[in-house]
Amino acid sequence: MQPSAPIGVFDSGYGGLTILKELVNALPQYDYLYLGDNARAPYGTRSFETVYQYTLEAVEWFFEQGCELVILACNTASAKALRTIQQKDLANYGPSKRVLGVIRPTAEVIGRFSESGQLGVLATKGTVISESYILEIAHFFPEMAVYQQACPMWVPLIENGAHEGSGADYFVKESLDQLLQQSPAIDTILLACTHYPLLIPKISAILPNHIQLIAQGEIVAQSLAHYLERHPAMEDKCSKKGQIRFCTTDSTADFDEKGAIFFGKSLKSEHILLGH
């Protein structure tokens, strides 16, 4: 039988497209199904219960579409919903289904980037409060000191297409200053929100030269490649026509226009409803 399962890629909105772009670069042979829950974004300021509920609805939709493997390409959903879905809900959908996040694969390798052992993490308020990065990194790099800073204005600026304007300068500098004030020895900063790569030009312009900036896309892509090597039964189920389908819970015209900036290529989306 021909494999028929695209790999599901989920985000609250557009941010996951920065991850999808790297997945397609590294693993172009697979089919992907992307969903942005734009109608209910941002997730970063919502409660655990709400993010869990929204993410579970999305995961269920991916399974209905025939996905076997779903990647939560959203740090907030990975921090607030992934564990409960894996431990409590997944069994209801059959023994072979899997949901993976972006925090663990990042935590597994992030210690290799820093010489000082002092890492700065920029993320949404939800990811920061969950302390998921602190807990996961302690697992793999117990000596590492992790400093977190929430950047509540960054996702709204990006979702509204205001990230290149001069208005964004103030908020980018404010959050970076707040992070760097926590420790002068930070030599590596992780962009722990999949939206933030769009702010790299602004961040780089004010970041001291000795500090390196890490985005997650390539890390997640490498991790998925290894996962599929280690799980041949899952790999066999993944369809391989190199096709991508884009879906959004909000306006397709907006998604096509803004999504192209995140994905780096033009795209055409379909509208779907969640939670009905």
Residue numbers of the site for ligand DGL (CB under 6 A)?
Answer: 11-13, 15, 41-44, 74-76, 124, 127, 155, 193-195
Judged by CB, which is closer to ligand DGL: 125, or 245?
125
Nearest distance, CB of residue 77 and ligand DGL, angstroms: 7
Judged by CB, which is closer to ligand DGL: 71, or 193?
193
Nearest distance, CB of residue 188 and ligand DGL, angstroms: 18
Annotated catalytic residue 67: no
Q: Which phi-psi region, left, alpha or beta, contains residue 90 (left: φ > 0; alpha: ψ -120 to 50)?
A: alpha
Judged by CB, which is closer to ligand DGL: 12, or 239?
12
Q: Supply 171's token pair.
A: 């908020």
Nearest distance, CB of residue 149 and ligand DGL, angstroms: 14
Judged by CB, which is closer to ligand DGL: 99, or 193?
193
Comparing C-alpha atoms, which of 82, 102, 83 is closest to residue 16? 102
* DSSP letter for each residue of 163-220: SSSTHHHHHHHHHHHHHHTT-TT--EEEE-STTGGGGHHHHHHHS-TT-EEE-SHHHH
Sign of the alpha-carbon torsion through 117, 120, 124, 130: positive
DSSP 91: G
Comparing C-alpha atoms, which of 141, 85, 112 is closest to residue 222? 112
Annotated catalytic residue 238: no
Give the gyration radius of the chain's Cα atoms.
18
CA 3 to CA 1: how far, in whole Å?
6
Nearest distance, CB of residue 28 and ligand DGL, angstroms: 23
Tell me if the bond preceding 156 is cis, omega within 30° of 0: no
**Which residue's CB atom is positioned nearest to ligand DGL?**
44
Nearest 5°: the CA angle 203, 194, 41 is: 115
Judged by CB, which is closer to ligand DGL: 80, or 237?
80
Q: Which of 74, 151, 238, 247 is catalytic?
A: 74
CA 35 to CA 166: how far, in whole Å?
30
Nearest distance, CB of residue 71 and ligand DGL, angstroms: 12
Active site residues: 74, 193
